[in-house]
Structure 1
Amino acid sequence: MDEIIEPLHLLDWDDIGAVEQHTSAALEQIIARPGVLAAAVRRLPERPELLRLCEHQEFYSVDKLVLYSDEDSGIRVRLHVFLPNHSDQPHNHRWTFATSVLKGEYHHVLYGDAPEGTLPLIVHARSERPGDGYVLHHSVVHAVTAAPDTVSLMIRGPAVKDRSVVFTRQMVRWHYSATQDSVADTANKELTPARLAELTDLLEEWGLLG
């Protein structure tokens, strides 16, 4: 994994054209070499510095496996496994990212600009299926509704702001880094060794680990 991601360390993550070019190449290499993905997943129990970054978000119906993290560059590689009933509220991110769908499908909605404090209008909607990928700038508001057992691979760049926005029907709220979570929130999102073993078995059953 290191040799694939290292060329991204000097990437300008505001240059979306460059991000698309280089992250697409990195994602293709990881996907084309199943042993890379398999090794990263199977080594997680031995990598406590990565395991503590992984999350089981039952409320949002998604598991997030952090397979690579570099503190100096801020780059992370994550594998997302979407559970039944996953549906995002419109939101943006603290970082620009690239993603590729490995299994399943999700309905992807993008939103345009809007006055502060109001829900933006939908400007684009599409379905993302295996082989589809995209890059999203940290400023863009989007939402995903995933089919059960959808899996995607993400490369995220460095965080460039302290918080991201989440829109609900009643209000606008802010989402902060997990480092600012309470002890209770952190415990609620913990990916246990038992859950990691279940996910590893599922990924193997789905043929994603070679």
Structure 2
Amino acid sequence: MNTTGTAASATETGQRLDAIIGESGPADWSDPHGAYRATAHVLDRITAEKGLVSAAVADLAGSLAGCESYPNMDKLLLWRSGDGNLRLRLHVFSPGYTDRPHNHRWNFAARLLGGAYLHAVYGDEQEVLEGARRGQAPRARHLHEVSAGSGYFLDHSLVHSLHTDTTTVCLVLRGPSVKDDYFTWEETSRQLVWAAGAARESAQESAAKAMDGHGYERVLDALGKLGL
């Protein structure tokens, strides 16, 4: 997986992640089959090194830049390439978390480290867009439970959502952005709401979701309960 331009990481853990992700070689993120194999290999290696993820989380204690908190969900930015195109994140979901059908600006690979969630796929974004124009809510086409140790690769053009009744931790390796905006289905208004990537958010929007010390402690508590 090409990480050309990655600056030397400040910590030993960061340097190890540089090596693992860089040594996998270039990946064609536009090819789902090839990208799946490449990202699965990277996530296999990261999770096989005992203590590597927890060490990366511990490294964030001094700075939570790029980390975010939402109702029943926290996101940690564990690693990013020098050009910012590739990012390794840790998502921590609290019991009762449910998100709305949405697409993404990039492809990503997910690997659950603990817990489980119900993953729903609603089809291609163009199908969802056409249905929304007629006032039709997205309808799940495929549902499956993802449990600890398993994962998947999702193309940016697919619309999905997830729900969990337990504390769940997921490692996410995302690829380069391929579009500027993404959408979310709002059931109350029965329409799609568009949003931009973080680079185009206002300072107020960024501050509203920025993780604070309480959010970080919540993550540490969840990881401890799962023995991670």
By the TM > 0.5 criterion, same fold?
Answer: yes
CA 1:15–1:62 in structure 2 vs 1: closer, same or farther (change >3 Å)?
Answer: same
| SS state at 2:170 partner | strand
CA distance in 1 between partners of 2:22 and 2:101 (Å): 32
Matched-pair contact (CA < 8 Å) for 1:9–1:75: no
Tell me, yes or no, if the aligned pair for 1:117 and 1:172 is still in contact at 8 Å.
no
CA distance in 1, matches of 2:155, 2:90: 19
What is the aligned-residue RMSD (CA, Å)? 1.8
CA contact (8 A) 1:82 1:147 kept: no
User: TM-score under structure 2 normalisation?
Assistant: 0.82
Whether contact under 8 Å (1:9, 1:73) holds in the other structure is no
1:54 corresponding residue in structure 2? 67
The separation in 2 between residues aligned to 1:52 and 1:153, in whole angstroms, is 18
- On the 8 A contact 1:108/1:144 being kept in 2, the answer is yes
Q: CA deviation at 1:33?
A: 1.0
Cα deviation, 1:107-135, whole Å, max 9, x if unaligned, reads 11111242535244321111111111100
Q: Which runs of 4+ in 1 moved over 4 A?
A: none
Identity of aligned residues (%): 37
Change (3 A) 1:140 1:123: same
CA distance in 1, matches of 2:140, 2:58: 39
**Matched-pair contact (CA < 8 Å) for 1:99–1:133:** yes
Structure 2 residue corresponding to 1:199, chosen from 209, 212, 219:
219
1:149 maps onto 2:149 in alignment: no
- Any idea what SS the aligned residue of 2:69 has? strand
1:55-83 CA-partner distances (Å, limit 9, x unpaired): 0112xx21000100114260000101002
Q: Is 1:33 aligned with 2:49?
A: yes
Partner residue in 2 for 1:97: 108
Q: Aligned in 2, Cα 1:99/1:37: closer, same or farther, shift over 3 Å?
A: same
SS of alignment partner, residue 66 of structure 2? coil
Gapped regions of structure 1 (runs ≥ 5): none
Give the whole-Å Cα distance in 2 for the aligned partners of 1:84 and 1:197.
17
**Is the contact between residue 111 and residue 152 of structure 2 (CA under 8 Å) also seen in structure 1?**
yes
1:3 alignment partner in structure 2: 19
* Structure 2 portions without partners, runs of 5+: 1-16
Indicate the residue corresponding to 2:178 in structure 1. Answer: 160
Mapping for residues 14-163 of structure 1, pairs under 5 Å: 14-46=30-62, 48=63, 51-58=64-71, 61-72=72-83, 74-113=85-124, 114=127, 116=130, 118=132, 119-163=137-181
1:89 aligned partner, one-letter code = R
Q: Secondary structure at the match of 1:43?
A: helix
Q: 1:149 Cα shift?
A: 1.1
In structure 2, distance between residues paired with 1:117 and 1:180: 28
Once the two structures are TM-superposed, the CA of residue 202 in structure 1 deviates from its matched residue by: 3.1
Indicate the residue corresponding to 2:5 in structure 1: none
